[in-house]
Structure 1
Amino acid sequence: MSSALVWFRRDLRDFDHAALYHALKTHRRVFCAFVFDSEILDALPSRADRRVEFIHASVVELDAALRARGGGLIVRHGPARDVIPALAAALQVNAVFANRDYEPQAIARDADVAERLRVLGIGFSDFKDQVVFEKSEVLTKSSTPFSVFTPYKRAWLAALTPFHLKAYPVDKYAAALAAPAPDERVPSLAEIGFEPTNLGELGIACGMAGGRVLVDDFMKRIDRYKRGRDFPARKGVSYLSVHLRFGTVSIRELAAAAHARGGEGAETWLSELIWRDFYFQILWHHPRVVGGSFRPEFDRVAWDAEPGLFAAWCEGRTGYPIVDAAMRQINHSGYMHNRLRMIVASFLTKDLGIDWREGEKYFADQLNDFDLAANNGGWQWAASTGCDAQPWFRIFNPVTQSEKFDPEGAFIRRYLPELAKVPDKYIHAPWTLPPIDQKLAGCVIGVDYPAPVVDHAQARERTLARFGVLKGEAGGDAAEE
C-alpha cells in the first residue's frame, strides 16, 4: 500500500491545497504533519510572538478539521530538516509532499530535506500553492523576468485562465487521509517555549474560520476598496494579509472572486494580489535583494548612522503624529495599514536618512503578516533602491500625507491620546499650535509630546543631495508628495 506524508508549512488549511490534493490523489494512505521549526523559532527576538500564537491556534484548528475527515496532524517541535526525514522513515512512507516556498533559506532547507529523503529512498515533491503565477511563468517577450510592475500586471492578466484559479478538489480524495497514533496531540504554546500575547484582546481571528469571516466581510465591501483603502481610520482594506501569509485562505479563491466581480474596487484589490506575485518572482529571480539593493548602484548610498533617531522612529516619538501613530499601531498590534507603511518607510529613509535595511528588519520582527518578499519589496520601493521604486527625487511629506489620508486626525488620536484635544487644524503639525493653545489642549510640545526630531524641508534637501551625488544629478525636478 503506497503512502505519503504531507508537510504543512505556510498553508494551514484543509481545502484547495495543492500538496494535499496531489498526495491524496496518488497514494492510498496520506499522513499530515506540521513542524514548529526550532531553527526559525529560536531566532525570534521574543518568546511572546503574535505570529507563533496565530500559527499555533491555526494548527489546532487544522488538526481538528483533518480529524473530522478521518485524519489528523502529527505535530513536532525541532529542526524541520531533521524532523521530516526521521518522521517519513518512521511512517515508512514512499514520498513527502509540500507546497513550494520561495525564500532563500526555505529553498536551502527543502533541498537539504529532499537529499536526506533521497538517501532513505523516499521521494520529495513540491507544488505551487501560495501564488497564482510563480518563478518564470510570467516573463517579458524576451523571456526575461519583469522588473516593472505595470507590464508584469498586463502579462499576468493576459496569461490568466480559469485553470489557474481552479480550486484543488481535496474533498474528492479525503478518504485516503490516515489517522495519526492515538496519543498524538498538538503541543501547547508553553511546550514549544512561547507565551500568550495580546492577540485575543486585539480580536485577531486565527485559522481557516477566522479567514472565512474576513473574506465574507470584505466581499461585501470590495466595491468601495479603491476609494477607501488609503485612509487608515476607515474600514477600507481586507485585513487578510496575515491569512495570506500563513495560508489559512486560498489565493486562488480570492483572486477568482475579485476577477469575476470586476469593477474598480475588485480590480484594484486584484492588483494588490498581483503585486504579491510580482515580489515573489523578484525574490526568486534576484535573491540578492535579501541583503542588498535590487539596483546594485544604490548599495553605495551613504546612509546615516543615527541610533537615537532610529529609536525615536521605532518607539513612535518623532514628533510627526502620523508617523508616531503608525509606529504605535505596529508596536501594539503587529499590524500597520499599507498607506502608513509607505509613509513611515519614506520618513525613515528620506527624512532620517537611515538605511532601509534597519526598517525592514524592524518590520520583520513586528509584523504579524511579515513576508520576506513583500516586506523587502515594499521597503526598497520606499527607499528608491528597488524594482519599479518610488523615484529618489519624489519624497513623501509626512504632514501633507497626514492631511490627505487622515484629514480629521481620527487615526492619530486613536494612537496618540495626548493629542486628543489638539484642534483638527493643528493635529498634523502640533508644533505650529500657539503655546497658549498648547496649554489649553493639554499638549505642550517638548513636554507632553515631542518636538519634531528633524525639519522635513532640511531633511528633504539632504536626501536630494545624498542621492543626487550618487546619480550625478542635482534633483532639480524633485517632487514632494
Structure 2
Amino acid sequence: MEPVLLWLRRDLRIGDNPALAAAIKTGRPIIPVFIRPKPDEIGGASAWWRGASLAALREQLRKRGSDLLLRTGEPLTILAGLAAETGAVAVHFNRTLEPDAIKTDIAVLAAMPKHGAIALDHPANRLHEPWRLKTGTGGSFKVFTPFWRRLAEAYRPPIALPAPRKLRAPRAWPESETIEDWQVTTGWSQGFAADWQPGEAGAEVRLAQLLETVDSYDKTRDRPDWEGTSRLSPHLAWGEISVHEIWRRLQERHGEAALPFLRQLGWRDFNSHLLYHFPKLPKEAWSAKFRGFPFLPHGKGLKAWQRGRTGYPIVDAGMRQLWATGWMHNRVRLIAASFLIKDQMIDWRRGEAWFWDTLVDADLAQNAGNWQWVAGSGADAAPYFRIFNPITQSRKFDPDGAYIRRWVPELAKLDAKAIHAPWEAAPLDLAAAGVVLGKDYPQPILEHDEARKRALAAYETVR
C-alpha cells in the first residue's frame, strides 16, 4: 500500500498531533520527515534544542515501529522527490503562522497534486487561527485585553488526540541524513543539557510540575530567585506539547485558579495574531511613528549588554543566565530589554537578533512581539515613557539578591542592601566582600536617571 508523508516542523510530538492523527486515519504506512531548510536561519541555541528534540522524537517513533527521515533542502523539492521515490499519495502537515512558512505551505498545497500526492494542512499549535478571531467591526485585534476576552469566550479545547501505541511503517525506508550530523555537541551550548530535557517526555515533566504549582503562579512568576515559572516555553516553541493539552489539564484540575497562566498562553496567541496580520513585525516597528526613532549607534554598549558586563547586576545576571542556559526569566527579560532600548537607546532589533541566537525558546512571533512591546512600538505596547529602573526592579523582585549571587558570583559576598547597586556601597563594605569596582565587576556603563531623561527627550521627537 502506498504511504503518506508526515511533514514535521515545530510539532515534534506523538500525542495530540493533528497531522499525525489524520495520517493514521488513512490506514496507510506513514513516513515521518523533518526537513532542515537551506540556508538554515535558526539560532545557535535553537539548533541545539532541535537536534536533541529530534533525537527524542526518533526514539519515540522507533518504539512504535516507525522511524524519522531527515533531509536538508527546499521543502517542496524534497517532498515532491519523496512522493516520486516512495509513491506517497498524500502529505499531512500542521500549519505554521510565520510569514515565510505560510508562503511555503501555500506552495506545497498548490504544487503537490502535480507530483501525485495531495497536501493536507491541519491546525497550528495555537489556541486560535488568527484569521478567525475578529473584532466587532471585522478587523484584527490590536489590544490584548479585548483579544483575550474574546478568545476566552470563544475557545473550547478540541478533543484530545491520544498518542498511538503503534505506527504502520513502509516496507522500505528512504535514505536519511544522520541525526548525529544535526546535533550540536560543541560550543557554548554544551552546558544546556544540565538544565533541559528536550522532547515530549521533558515537556510532560514540566507540565506535571506546573500542575502542582499553578495555584501560586501569579504570586511567584515575577521572582527570578524562585522556581515560579513553568519553563514550558521551549517545549511549546518546538511543539513538543500541545497548547490544548496544557489548557485541558490545567482547567480540569484547577479551574479558575489556572487563569493567570492560561492568560499567558493567550499572550502567546496574541503575538502570533499580530505577526500574521503584520508580517513585517520582526523587522519594522508596528507603530508607524516609531519607524524614524533616533536610536544611537550600538558600539561597546551592545557588547557589554550581551556579555553581562553593564555594571547593573540584575541586567548582567539575566544576560549571563541566558548565555549559560539558553533561557532567561521573563521578568528579567523585560528589565534587560528595557535597559538596552531605553537606557542605551539601542535599536530593539539588535536585542531581538541576540535573543534569536541565544534562546532555546526562540519563536519569531514571541521575540518580535515582546521586544516591540518593551520598545513601545508594538501593538498594545508598554508606553515608551515606562522605563524600567534596573535598581528598583532588582530590589523588588530579587530582594535578597539570591538570583544575582547565582549568576554574578563576584558580588556574592555583598549584603542584600548593597548587591543591587554596588557602586553605592561603602568602600569598607566592598572591600569586605572582596569587590574592586572596575576590576572584579564593572562600574555602570551609564547613569540610569540621565539615560531616562535622554530617552524621554528622544520620545518627544516622535510623539
TM-score, reference length from structure 2? 0.94
- Structure 2 distance, partners of 1:175, 1:405, is 48
1:147 partner SS: coil
Aligned pairs, how many? 461
Please state if 1:308 is matched with 2:300: yes
Measured in 2, the distance between the counterparts of 1:199 and 1:442 equals: 28
Q: Go from structure 1 to structure 2 and tell me whether the alpha carbon gap of 1:438 and 1:468 turns closer, same or farther (over 3 Å shift).
A: same
Query: Counterparts of 1:134 and 1:83 in 2: how far apart (Å)?
Result: 27
Determine the structure 1 residue equivalent to 2:54: 59
Q: 2:122 aligned with 1:127, yes or no?
A: yes
Deviation at 1:222, TM superposition (A): 1.0
The answer to which of 56-65 and 210-219 deviates more is: 56-65
What's the offset of the Cα at 1:71? 2.4
Matched, 1:228 2:220: yes
- Give, in whole Å, the separation in 2 of the partners of 1:277 and 1:391: 21
Give the Å deviation of 1:3: 3.5
Say whether residues 1:150 and 2:142 are aligned partners: no
- The range that moved more, 214-223 or 381-390, is 214-223
Q: Kindly indicate whether residue 334 of structure 2 is the aligned counterpart of residue 342 of structure 1.
A: yes
* C-alpha distance after superposition, 1:215-238 (max 9, x if no partner): 112211111111100001101011
Residue 31 of structure 1, CA deviation? 2.0
* TM-fit CA distance, 1:73: 1.8
Match for residue 190 of structure 2 among 198, 208, 212? 198
Distance between the aligned counterparts of 1:180 and 1:409, measured in 2? 60
- Shift of the alpha carbon at 1:206? 1.5
The residue identity in structure 1 corresponding to 2:169 is: A
Q: After superposition, give the CA deviation of every residue in 1:152-172 in whole Å (9 maximum; x if it has no partner).
A: 1100011022xx33212453x
Q: Is the 8 A contact 2:46 2:360 kept in 1?
A: yes
Amino acid at match of 1:232: P
Q: Does the CA contact (< 8 Å) of 1:223 and 1:263 recur in 2?
A: no
Q: What secondary structure, in the 3-state scheme, does the structure 2 residue paired with 1:7 have?
A: strand
Q: How does 1:71-470 map to 2 (within 5 A)?
A: 71-161=66-156, 164-169=157-162, 171=164, 177-179=168-170, 181=172, 187-189=178-180, 191-192=181-182, 194-196=184-186, 197-199=189-191, 201-262=193-254, 265-470=257-462
Alpha-carbon offset, residue 193 of structure 1: 7.6
Q: Which runs of 5+ in 1 are unaligned?
A: 472-481
2:255 & 2:400 partners in 1: Cα distance?
29
The structure-2 alpha-carbon separation of the partners of 1:176 and 1:194, relative to structure 1 and needing over 3 Å to count, comes to: closer
TM-score by length of structure 1 reads 0.91
Between 194-203 and 4-13, the greater mean CA deviation after superposition: 194-203
Paired letter, 1:242 = P
| C-alpha distance 351-263 of structure 1, shift in aligned 2 (>3 A) | farther
CA distance in 2, matches of 1:31, 1:52: 23
Give CA-to-partner distance per residue, 1:315-336, whole Å, 9 cap, x none: 1111100000100110111100
Query: Does the alignment pair 1:20 with 2:20?
Result: yes
**Secondary structure, aligned partner of 1:258:** helix
Residue 371 of structure 1, CA deviation: 0.3
Contact 2:46–2:358 (CA under 8 A) maintained in structure 1: no
Shift of 1:30: 2.4
Judged with a 3 Å threshold, the aligned counterparts in structure 2 of structure 1 residues 322 and 360 are, in CA distance, closer, same or farther, namely same
Instruction: For 1:155 and 1:32, locate their aligned partners in 2 and report how far apart those are by CA, in whole Å.
Output: 36
Contact 1:323 1:340 in 2 (8 A): yes
In structure 2, the gaps of 5 or more residues are: none
Report SS of the residue matched to 1:335: coil
1:70 maps to 2:69: no
3-state DSSP of counterpart to 1:326? helix
CA distance in 1, matches of 2:225, 2:88: 52
For residues 26-65 of structure 1, what are the structure 2 equivalents within 5 Å? 26-40=26-40, 43-44=41-42, 49-65=44-60
Distance 2:89 2:214 in 1: 45
Change (3 A) 1:370 1:341: same
Tell me the distance in 2 between the aligned counterparts of 1:410 and 1:360. 27
Tell me the amino acid that sits aligned with residue 147 of structure 2: Y
Identify if the C-alpha distance between structure 1 residues 187 and 176 changes in structure 2 by more than 3 Å, giving closer, same or farther.
closer
- Give the superposed CA RMSD: 2.0
CA contact (8 A) 1:11 1:246 kept: yes
Q: Tell me the CA shift for residue 182 of structure 1.
A: 5.9
Tell whether the 8 Å contact from 2:5 to 2:92 is kept in structure 1 after alignment: yes
Q: Are the equivalent residues in 2 in contact too, given 1:435–1:444 (CA < 8 A)?
A: no
Partner secondary structure for residue 6 of structure 2: strand
